[in-house]
A and B are shown apart, each in its own frame.
Chain A
Amino acid sequence: MVGLSEGEKQFLRGGIEQDLRSDGRTRHQFRSVYVETGVIPQANGSARVRLGATEVIASIKAELGKPSLLHPDKGKVSIFVDCSPTAAAIYGGKGGEELSMELSVALERCLLGGKSGAGAAIDLSSLVLVEGKVCWDLYIDALVVSSDGNLLDSLAAAIKAALSNTGLPKVNVVLGASPEEQPEVDVSDEEFLQFDTSTVPAIITLTKVGKHYIVDATSEEESQMNSAVSVSVNRNGQICGLTKRGGAGLDPSVILDMVSVAKHVSQQFTSDLDSEIAAAEASDE
């Protein structure tokens, strides 16, 4: 819903061509990232992340549940993204559902790994308390409060920050005598287990405008895109997920080039994000 005049479009495209974008950034430069943790007191972990004028909140809630029959040795994680109509009027009513679903699916794809669980950012087997009986169900709820482009990257960053803010209470499980009996669960309210978020990847979306690709596009820039590729890269430089958006086709070699650029950019972004998270955690204490 960005209405740009011909002149403005030319200005944007010209800037990108000359590696100087309208807000003064280079093509592969992120906007400054701001992280605040512990913003939702009733959640187990939460964070607010701001990238320029884009603002998202992520909250993690953990509930005790039963592992699924197919994977008795794994906990469950589900991700729900909601686009608040406050962020843009078109998200009102049912208008935001499609985008919300698309973002949720893209995040699940990037964070939860393959069907066998390989490459998952969150170690699902660490969520199991008693195999086949008790496990943690993690509900990751994210809300887009204000939107100025690059929602997916911001959401992934917010989820990472919220996960590092998460403390799961220590649980003592006493199994019943017979297999049908519900096990007794004792949830500690003093001891908490921290989450290891070093494996959580960062998502880098490269937006192709003209011949060039840019990272962290604003909504003005996104309106000019031909196509975009979101790549999730973990600390080891492995690719953990990839989604293409936008209609125009891409040459396979271009995609591979974009992936390698994303890999390169991710190192800087991940370290920036990590230090921001650490700072936020410190101030939160």
Chain B
Amino acid sequence: MAASTYSPSQGAERRQRQQQMRRLSIQSDWDRSDGRSFIQCRPAFLRTGAANAASGSAYAEFGTTKVIVSVFGPRESKKAMMYSDIGRLNCNVTFTTFATSLRGQGSDNKEYSAMLHKALEGAVILETFPKTTVDVFALVLESGGSDLPVIISCASLALADAGIMMYDLVSSVSVSCIGKNILIDPTNEEEVCQDGSLVLACMPARNEVTQLTLTGEWSLPKINEAMELCMDACLKLAGIMRSCLKESANLSN
């Protein structure tokens, strides 16, 4: 045995996944486990001001995916940094040890940190805070699928809450490709058996894509279809984000 302790649910989960995979790959039409249609997102719950120690913060809950993002700054850059006449954006994503079904290490997720940075850097007007750094720290409390898009959307909301200048809010949505079908906003179980995935982050008001990643095998028309689906969902999500910001602004007035 490799580890001295183990989670007793491993076996059951494996069976469940295999069953699901078999089911999904055979059928072309099925119901999603949470009753949504293929092009329906999970209900989104967004709030700003989740942690008052930060300059700005936001909490996002999409189904069981729960994320808190705090934004600190603009504040002094690290001493080792060289002079820069534009500001720096520093992103860090951490998962709690209990975020996933198997207990994790609770360490930084470098890959997501880099992706978050790429998705946001095009939207933040770095010229407005020269020589300083804005820190965007995300903590995934629970991972329930589509984690990265939720982190990105939540982070841009937190940036807005902190009053950092941006060209537009960044909203992000992912789709999974399973068999012939394209599923929007996939859950964990769906992500495990996906054949391909596409994550898109965009600034809807400017119709610009700030980040796009794609895995699996895709044809050109299919990419087109998935991107349109995502852009559409991003636009709607941005609307929800905007009303959340307005709400908190009204409250503080």
Name A's B-contacting residues (CB within 8 A): 69-70, 98, 101-102, 105, 109-110, 112-116, 118-119, 227, 229, 234, 238-252, 255-256, 259-260, 263
Contact = CB atoms under 8 A, between A and B. Distances in A.
Contact of B14 (A70, A242, A250): A70
B210 interface: yes
B121 A244 contact: no
B208 A101 contact: no
Interface in B203-239: 203, 206-220, 223-224, 227-228, 231
Nearest to B214: A242
A48 B25 CA distance: 39
Contact of B122 (A238, A240, A247): A247
Given A115-B194, A116-B21, A248-B208, 17 more contacts: A109-B215, A110-B215, A112-B215, A115-B192, A115-B193, A115-B197, A118-B196, A118-B216, A118-B217, A119-B196, A239-B223, A242-B212, A243-B213, A244-B211, A247-B122, A255-B227, A260-B220
Interface residues of B, number: 43
Contacts of A109: 213-215
B17 interface: yes
A270 to B, nearest CB: 16
B122 A249 contact: yes
Contacts of B193: 115-116
A262 B228 CA distance: 20
Contact of A114 (B177, B206, B219): B177
Q: Which 5 A-B pairs have the closest CB atoms?
A: A249-B208, A119-B217, A114-B216, A118-B195, A242-B214
Contacts of B219: 238-239
A118 B222 CA distance: 15
Interface of B: 10, 14, 17, 21, 25, 110-111, 114, 118, 121-123, 177-178, 191-197, 202-203, 206-220, 223-224, 227-228, 231
A244 B118 contact: yes
A239 B210 contact: no
A55 B238 CA distance: 44
14 contacts: A70-B192, A101-B114, A113-B195, A114-B217, A115-B192, A119-B195, A119-B196, A234-B217, A241-B214, A241-B215, A241-B216, A249-B122, A249-B208, A252-B228
Given A114-B197, A245-B118, A256-B223, A250 B209 contact: yes
B188 to A, nearest CB: 11
A251 B207 contact: yes
Contacts of A115: 191-194, 197
Nearest to A69: B14
Contacts of A251: 207-209
B216 A240 contact: yes
Given A244-B212, A259-B220, A249 B202 contact: yes
B213 A259 contact: no
B207 A244 contact: no
A102 B17 CA distance: 29
Contact of B111 (A70, A101, A239): A101
A116 B193 CA distance: 5
Contacts of B215: 109-110, 112-114, 119, 240-241
B210 to A, nearest CB: 5
A210 to B, nearest CB: 17
A114 B178 CA distance: 10
Nearest to B198: A242
Given A247-B121, A249-B122, A255-B227, A119 B216 contact: yes
Contacts of A234: 217
